[in-house]
Each structure stands twice: as C-alpha cells, then as structure tokens.
Amino acid sequence: MKMRLDRWLTTLCVDSRSRVKEIIRNGQVKVDGKTVTDPAFSCETETQRLVLRDSEIDGRVMRHVLLNKPAGLLTAARDPKQPTVMDLLPEVFGGIGCMPVGRLDKDTTGVLLLTCDGELNHRLLSPARHVDKVYRAVVEGKLTEKDVHAFADGLELSDFTALPARMTVLKADDCLSLAEVTVREGKFHQIKRMFAAVGHEVKELHRLSFGPLTLDNGPAEGMWRELTENETDMLYEAAGMRTK
Ligand code: URA
C-alpha cells in the first residue's frame, strides 16, 4: 500500500502525527537503509524496510477492529446515501483498507470484526474453516423442541440447505421467544431465513460472538477497539493462518 512516511508511522502507532513528523525531521527514521527527513516521503508499506532509531520495526499495516455494531448502520465500506459502520471509525482505518468481515443486517447489533488483512477476511468467511458465529434472537411465537430439531437437521431454504445449527431456547412464551443459535455459515439473512423456515419472524437479532471474539471485555454499543494480541493470535489460528 502506498502511504506517506508520517502516516505510515502514525498508523503503526509509533506516536502522534505531530511527534512522528518531528522524529522524521530529526533524522531518526530510515527507509530501505536511507535516512529520510521528509514526512511526506512516499513509501510502499508492503515492501520497504523501516528502521526507527536503529531498530527495525514491523511495518505491516495490519490492524483489526472489534466493533459493537448498533442498529441503523449498513455493513459496507461506503454507501452514497446511508451511514455505514465505517462512520464509527477514525478515517485512518478506511485509508488502510480496513473492511468488515461479512455482513450484519442494518437492524442487527453486536460483534462485527473489521480487518485490513484480505486473506484473513476471506478465510474467516469460508464455511470450511468452521468459524462459529453465535446469535441471540427474539422471535415471534413460541419456539418448540420441534424447531430445535429442525435447526439441528439442517434447514431447507429456497436456494440452499443450511448446515446443521445448534439452537437453544432460552425463553418461550406464546407471543415471543428468545433463542441462541450457533452457525458456521454466513449467508445473506441466514438466521432470519432459518427462523422464517420454521414459521417464526425475527424481531431482534444480536451477534454475541464471532469465532473467539466476544464483547465480554467491551466495547460498549456503538464503540470500537482494536483486538488484543491474544485475540489476534486466536483469530489467525481460527483462520488456519498461524499455529501456536
Ligand atoms: N443472519 C441474519 O439474518 N442477519 C444478520 O445480520 C446476520 C445473520
């Protein structure tokens, strides 16, 4: 990715933009072995070597964000008319190619991962990787054991047969029920369509987890945070891209 030197170092969290400019002007940064004193110097982040005060630093711009998606935002990099999840993040993330991993519907809330690692994004979405996604759904009508078995058998939808899914009924009244569902796929409107196939309309949908990622340590709804090192390791492991 082409990027100005000061932006590259800021993206790597070396320091604030203004301090980074100072550091560069003071001659403390080398790119491919040569001291660069111009903060606007154009770099190629994938291939160039970065040395700060005689120590080589990992220049890969790989940042991963956990967003607690509120209702009302599209899951898209951009949209000409409607607000998207990217509106909740600082601009730098869009600039380095951070993209949502899969989609949550506009009215769905909860765990949404965004990453600039295209391969990680692709692998996490592959059903072959068996990355579990857990949802909590409020649905119309009373869920029964028959519905639980139908989910476990793999529901026939109009264009595909869903893989067997675990559904647990947490509460079942005549009007509304509350259930938790674990799926490995991520097809369009999958959970809503699965419930519709057994005669229940989803009224509210919240994603509790995506693979190893949960909201147990925040962020609050509408907020974001970067993944911890441990979460990042677990995610790469889930994607089959890194083994401990
Ligand atoms: N399934 C749905 O129906 N909607 C979502 O947002 C996610 C999964």
Q: What is the pLDDT of residues 216-227, one digit of tens each?
A: 999 999 999 999
Instruction: Report residue 48 as tokens.
Output: 């160039």
Report the distance separating Cα 133 and Cα 180, nearest Å: 10
CA distance 66 to 213: 8
Alpha carbon distance 72, 57 (integer Å): 40
Rounded to the nearest 10°, the torsion over CA 50, 116, 214, 195 is -170
Mutate to test the pocket of ligand 1, among 67, 75, 85, 105 (most ligand atoms within 8 A of CB): 105
Cα–Cα dist 14/93, whole Å: 16
pLDDT of 37 reads: 98
Q: Cβ distance 183 to 132 under 8 Å?
A: yes
Is there a contact between 178 and 138 (Cβ–Cβ < 8 Å)? yes
Residues annotated catalytic, as ranges: 105
| Cis status, amide bond into 219, omega within 30 of 0 | yes
What pLDDT score does 233 carry? 85
Mutate to test the pocket of ligand 1, among 67, 74, 85, 103 (most ligand atoms within 8 A of CB): 103
Q: What is the pLDDT of residues 112-150, one digit of tens each?
A: 999 988 889 999 998 788 899 999 999 999 999 999 999
How far is residue 68's CA from residue 114's CA, in Å, rounded to a whole number?
11
H helical segments located in the chain: 5-11, 17-25, 91-95, 118-125, 145-153, 190-197, 229-238
For residue 192 and ligand 1, the question of a CB distance below 6 A is answered with: yes
Which residue ranges in the chain fall short of pLDDT 70? 242-244
Q: What is the pLDDT of residue 16?
A: 84
Q: Indicate if ligand 1 lies below 6 Å from the C-beta of 108.
A: yes
Q: What is the CA radius of gyration of the chain?
A: 22
Distance between CA atoms of 66 and 223, rounded to whole angstroms?
9
Query: Is the Cβ atom of 204 under 6 angstroms away from ligand 1?
Result: no
